């Protein structure tokens, strides 16, 4: 049950990684520092993020950098809906393949015994 949470966390990590790349920061060092800031379990590191203007880790509240939660919520909803749709399409396609394999017609000119390629009768 942990795998979906890890996958979501990995997907969300793309956001600060892309921001760090775009502002010219050292990506590995910046993400490591950001993880360390987010680590406290008391929630004190919740407002830390990548400042795209300075390419450093800052407290977003003190730097007056605000990200509307409505945009994030809509992005999450769209991503989840897209993933669900892709899974549904995959189920449909795999169901069609299984149905064809189970109900496939045999060619009219083939014999009833099945494929005889490479058996003892070929000589």
Q: How confident is the model at residue 21 (pLDDT cuts 50, 70, 90)?
A: very high
For residue 30, count CB atoms less than 10 angstroms from its CB and return exposed for 0-12, middle for 13-18, buried for 19 or more: buried
What residue ranges do the domains of the chain occupy?
1-66, 68-104
Question: Looking at the whole model, is its pTM more than 0.75?
Answer: no
Q: Look up residue 43 and give its DSSP letter.
A: S
Element (H, E) at 59: strand 56-59
Query: What is the overall mean pLDDT for the chain?
Result: 80
Residue 46 near residue 26, CB atoms below 8 Å: no
Percent of the chain topping pLDDT 70: 77
Mean pLDDT value of segment 92-106: 67
For residue 65, count CB atoms less than 10 angstroms from its CB and return exposed for 0-12, middle for 13-18, buried for 19 or more: middle
């Amino acid at each position: 049950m942990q795998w979906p949470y890890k996958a979501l966390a990995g997907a969300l990590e793309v956001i600060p990684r892309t921001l760090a790349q775009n502002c010219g920061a050292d990506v590995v060092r910046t993400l490591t520092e950001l993880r360390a800031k987010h680590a406290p379990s008391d929630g004190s590191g919740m407002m830390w993020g990548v400042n795209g203007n300075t390419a450093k880790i800052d407290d977003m509240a003190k730097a007056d950098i605000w990200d509307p939660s409505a945009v994030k919520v809509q992005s999450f909803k769209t991503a989840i809906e897209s993933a669900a749709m892709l899974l549904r399409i995959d189920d449909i396609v795999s169901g069609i393949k299984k149905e064809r394999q189970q109900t496939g017609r045999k060619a009219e000119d083939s014999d009833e015994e099945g494929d005889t390629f490479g058996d003892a009768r070929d000589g």
